[in-house]
Amino acid sequence: MKRIAAVLLICAAGAASAAEITVSAAASLSNAFREAAAAFEAAHPGDRVLLNFAASDALVAQIAKGAPVDVFASADQESMDRARPHLAPGSRRDFASNRLVVAVPFGSKLDLRTLTDLRQPAVQRLTTGNPASVPVGRYTKGALEKVALWGELEPKFVFGTNVRQSLDYIARGEVEAGLVYQTDVASQAEKVRTAMVVPTTTPITYPLAVIKNGPNPAGGRAFAEFILSPGGQSILARFGFGKP
Amino acid sequence: MTIRLNIRKALRSGTRNFQLDAQFESASKRVVIYGASGAGKSQMLKAIAGLSRPDSGVIELDGIKVFDSSAGIDVPARKRRVGYLFQDYALFPHLNVRQNIGFGLQRGWFNPAPRGEPEAVRYWLEAFGLEEVAHQRPAELSGGQRQRVALARALVAEPGALLLDEPFAALDPALRVRMRAELDTLQRRLDIPMLMITHDPDDAATFGGHVLTMADGRVAGEGSNG
Amino acid sequence: MDAALIALGLSLKVALWATVIDLVLGVGFGYLLARGRFPGRDVLDAVLTLPMVMPPTVLGYYLLVLIGRNGPIGHWLQQHFGINLIFTWQGAVIAAAVVAFPLVLKGARSAFEAVDVQLEQAAHVLGVSPLGVFLRVSLPLAWRGVLAGTLLAFARSMGEFGATLMVAGSIPGKTQTLSIAVYEAVQAGQDDTANLLVMITSLTCVIVLVAANRLVPNRAQGAA
């Protein structure tokens, strides 16, 4: 009986290891944060970073339901606002910026220079994230509403559940064009290229914060500091992110 | 009907592999193949009906080749115009008696209607005394009734010959005697060529115009029984 | 509530078409596998059963690769018929049909195997063509097993999510079936909507199952 209890205790201890840091990050941060996590682990032997990528609102929904997260990095201020009750006070900081672009399949022959060009009949399908749950969708809607094109273009849109899914649609040629982040285009550079940069109503800034009552607050703070440090910032820059 | 048969087929009975190697000729209207169970009789009968394909050989019915492996001839069962009586009758459980009997008269994709019957079906219902049970399903019939339905079904389309696979094996002894007599009378009345396989010597005695013995897949010996 | 009913209508439409396709193909292949004696029969059975053991997202991925615009089948369809299946309800039908197919196949194959071969032989000797034998003897005797498999396929199609999402996307009114709508609502933090959709889905499934139990009576209840 004692032996069983000892084994169970060791297993339980392993499950809640103090050296694990759980990070929920927006899908557009996939490549950059994977490398940042590797760099962090190299500099902090014994620590493990667990990454969880999805659309920012989906991550907020998980945190709100009590998911054990230490750090939350989102792609817009609105989703971070929604997570406010769960944030450790004073820990919210902007750590990167991005640009919204119109992207096309690499071999596309379409000439898209202004947003109005998206009205052409040759552009049958567009994609972006779902504005109800994905920041890039909200940026897109804002940008198109500003030039009074949202109403007309909305029927052409196929909404992805996160920005990377939209990127995949473009890479496969299932849509003629889509609105995604500049950094996403860089991640699939052989299949997708930028047609034009889109001015957004608000600057695209990415905030992060430590989650109150997370399983490893000290680890969470350490990771957040790393992202904000020159080392973390240079990794983000290499993937195309701008300064916060 | 004349039948000429010369076939070979590899067979398996349980764990035993053996070779069916049958040759015989007969012009008799009453042929009985007599042999113990597992001798390959059923397989041979199925081959004659076109339900089983020999590995090689020739089968001729009334001078027409229905199977010839060297010439690539294999007439499908439905075109051979033989009637077949299965050992446990193989009556269609989802159809009633008159539908079963009339089955072969309908060549299309639909079964005969459950009520009302064509002339030919009515004839056999009366001949076998099945009018009372015409609307019933096979599961509700007695052993003797089932056999009569199976016979009627085989005969209604006026086949050129009747093949019977141990026709009385499923009946109890008393019934067997009665049905044997009935079939005997029927065959004489219709004068239809009949080929029966059986392991019961009484069957051979009653029906054998031409009796052949079969053992281990080989048809051997001839006999005559008047 | 309107949006929920639209999603329900779409789910029913997709599931109905997928089930019809599966019924035809499942019965055909089920019979072939039950009666056929040809080399590679078991391999064919395994391949046709694969969708049942593969994760739907993996299936969705393969379908996307095959029938997407640049895929072998998708390109051919686009070239010759101008048809594009991605992001359409027809694409959703294909995804659901592929995922649910093994359910009809297995049901049909077992049902046909349970039909006594001698009955089919008897029908042959009586002069009926192979198709006639199938329609008049095999199918009528196997219909219960076939129906059971078909109802399972319908239920599975109603709940299909992973493959459908990949192939048809999530377009409200066009391809956003009930399962996808629930997912989206949860993603967007819209719990009330999610709860309503889940209740509608559950109610529909219960109705289908009750109807199924009435249609396919227990053995104990009456003569076959």
**Cα-based distances in Å from B120 to A76, B98, B127, C55:** 86, 11, 11, 59
Inter-chain CB proximity C124 and B77 less than 8 Å = yes
A227 lies in some domain? yes
Q: Are residues A112 and A48 in the same domain?
A: no
Min Cα distance C142 → chain A (Å) is 43
A194 shares its domain with A209: no
| Nearest chain C Cα distance for residue B34, angstroms | 22
Give the integer Cα–Cα distance in Å for C154 and C166: 20
CB-nearest partner of C136 from B83, B93, B109: B109
Q: Determine the distance in angstroms separating the CA of A38 from the nearest CA of chain C, rounded to an integer.
A: 28
A159 and A193 housed in the same domain: yes
Q: How far apart, in Å, are the Cα atoms of C13 and each of C8, C89, C154? A: 9, 9, 11
Contacts of C119 in chain B (CB under 8 A): 90, 92-93
Give a yes or no: residue A8 inside a domain.
no
CB C188 within 8 A of CB A57: yes
pLDDT computed for residue B226 by the predictor: 39
The Cβ-side half-sphere exposure at C27, using a 13 Å CA radius, reads 20
Q: Is the pLDDT of residue A98 over 70?
A: yes
Question: Residue C111: which pLDDT band, with cuts at 50, 70 and 90?
Answer: very high
* Least confident interval from A150-154, B31-35, C212-216: C212-216
What pLDDT, in 10s, does the model give residues B77-135?
989 989 999 988 999 999 999 999 999 998 888 899 888 888 889 999 998 889 999 99
For residues A88-96, average pLDDT: 93
Report chain A residues whose CB lies below 8 A from the CB of C165: 161
- Chains in contact with chain B (at least 3 beta-carbon pairs closer than 8 A): C
Nearest CA in chain C to A155: C171
Shared-domain flag, residues A32 and A118: no
Mean pLDDT of C216-224: 49
Neighbours of chain C (3+ CB pairs under 8 A): A, B
Is the CB of B160 inside 8 Å of chain C's CB atoms? Answer: no
For an interface test with C, give the residue of A127, A166, A172, A192 to mutate (most C CBs within 10 A).
A172
Domain residues for the domain of C106 are 2-223
Neighboring chain C residues of B77 at a CB cutoff of 8 Å: 121, 124-125
Q: What is the CATH number of the domain that holds C140?
A: 1.10.3720.10
Per-residue pLDDT reduced to its tens digit, A152-206? 999 899 999 889 999 999 999 999 999 999 999 988 999 999 999 999 989 999 9
Query: Which among A64, A159, A174 has CB closest to C86?
Result: A174
Higher pLDDT, B225 or B75: B75
- Neighbouring CB atoms inside 10 A of A90's CB total 8
B46, B78, B90 member nearest C128 (Cβ): B78
CB atoms within 10 A of CB B93: 16
Q: b or e along B139-151 (b: 16 or more beta carbons within 10 Å of the residue's beta carbon)?
A: eebebbbbbbbbb
Stretch B8-13: mean pLDDT: 80
pLDDT of C222 over the 60 cut = no
Residue A213 inside a domain? The answer is yes
Domain membership of residue A159 as a residue range: 100-198
Residue A170 shares a structural domain with residue A217: no
pLDDT of residue B36: 83
Q: Which of C121, C136, C223 sits opposite B111 (nearest CB)?
A: C136
A188 and A211 both lie in a single domain:
no
Task: Clarify whether residues A55 and A76 are in a common domain.
Answer: yes
Is C68 an 8 Å CB contact of chain A? Answer: yes
By Cβ distance, the residue of C128, C223, C224 closest to B107 is: C128
On whether any CB of chain C is under 8 Å from the CB of B82, the answer is yes
Chain C nearest-CA residue for A173: C69
Residue C135 CB coordination number (10 Å): 16
Question: With an 8 Å Cβ cutoff, is B136 touching chain C?
Answer: no
Interface of C with B (CB under 8 A): 116, 118-119, 121-129, 131-132, 135-137, 140-141, 223-224
Q: Are residues A47 and A82 in the same domain?
A: yes
What pLDDT is recorded for position A117?
A: 92
Residues in chain C closer than 8 A to A192 (CB atoms):
none
> In chain B, what residues touch C131 (CB-CB under 8 Å)?
109
Residues A138 and A192 in one domain: yes
Q: Where are the alpha helices (DSSP H) in A49-125?
A: 56-64, 77-82
Residue A17 has what pLDDT? 54
Chains that touch A (3 or more CB pairs under 8 A): C
Contacts of C170 (CB under 8 A, 6+ apart): A130, A159, A161, C176, C180, C181, C183, C184
What is the 3 state secondary structure string of B71-105? HCEECCHHHCCEEEECCCCCCCCCCCHHHHHCHHH
Residue of A24, A52, A36 whose CA lies nearest to A236: A36
Into how many domains does chain C fold?
Answer: 1
What is the CATH classification number for the domain harbouring A182? 3.40.190.10
| Residue reference for tokens 């640009």 | A99
Q: How confident is the model at residue C220 (pLDDT cuts 50, 70, 90)?
A: very low
Tokens linked to B176? 């067997």
If you count DSSP H runs as helices and E runs as strands, how many of each does chain A have, helices first?
A: 10, 10
Q: What is the DSSP letter of B113?
A: P
The rounded percent of chain A whose pLDDT value lies above 70 is 94
Q: CA A152 to CA C219: how far, in whole Å? A: 59
Q: How far apart are CA A215 and CA C87, in angstroms?
A: 41
**Three-state secondary-structure class, residue C137:** helix
Contacts of A172 in chain C (CB under 8 A): 64, 68-70
Residues A222 and A192 in one domain: no
- Model confidence at A16, in pLDDT bands (50, 70, 90)? very low
CB C18 within 8 A of CB C98: no
Q: Which tens digit of pLDDT belongs to each residue from C135-147?
A: 999 999 999 889 8
Q: Please, which residues have CB within 8 angstroms of residue B33's CB and are 6 or more apart in sequence?
A: B41, B44, B45, B195, B196, B197, B198, B212, B213, B214, B219
Asked if the C-beta of A61 comes within 8 angstroms of chain C's C-beta atoms, the answer is yes
User: Distance between CA C100 and CA B213 in Å, rounded?
Assistant: 55
Confidence category of residue C114, pLDDT binned at 50, 70, 90 = very high
Separation of alpha carbons B157 and B140, rounded Å: 25
User: Does A157 share its domain with A214?
Assistant: no
**Model confidence at C221, in pLDDT bands (50, 70, 90)?**
very low
Rounded Cα gap, residues B94 and B112, in angstroms: 12
Distance CA C212, CA C206 (A): 10
C126 → closest Cβ in B46, B104, B139: B104
Residue A183 lies in a domain: yes
* Residue A166 tokens, joined: 């939209």
B161 contacts B1 by C-beta, under 8 angstroms: yes
Look at residue A2 and tell me whether its pLDDT is greater than 60.
Answer: yes
Instruction: Answer yes or no: is pLDDT of B207 > 60.
Output: yes
Q: For the sheet containing B210-215, what is the strand order?
A: B73-74, B64-68, B56-61, B3-13, B16-26, B218-224, B210-215, B30-34, B194-198, B161-165, B82-85
The number of folded domains in chain A is 2
Judge whether A81 is closer than 8 Å to chain C, CB to CB.
no
Say if B75 is an interface residue toward chain C (CB within 8 Å). no
Are residue A110 and residue A190 in the same domain, yes or no? yes
pTM of the full predicted structure? 0.79
Please state, in angstroms and rounded to a whole number, the distance separating the CA atoms of residues A169 and A188.
Answer: 12
Task: Retrieve residue A7's tokens.
Answer: 């084994």
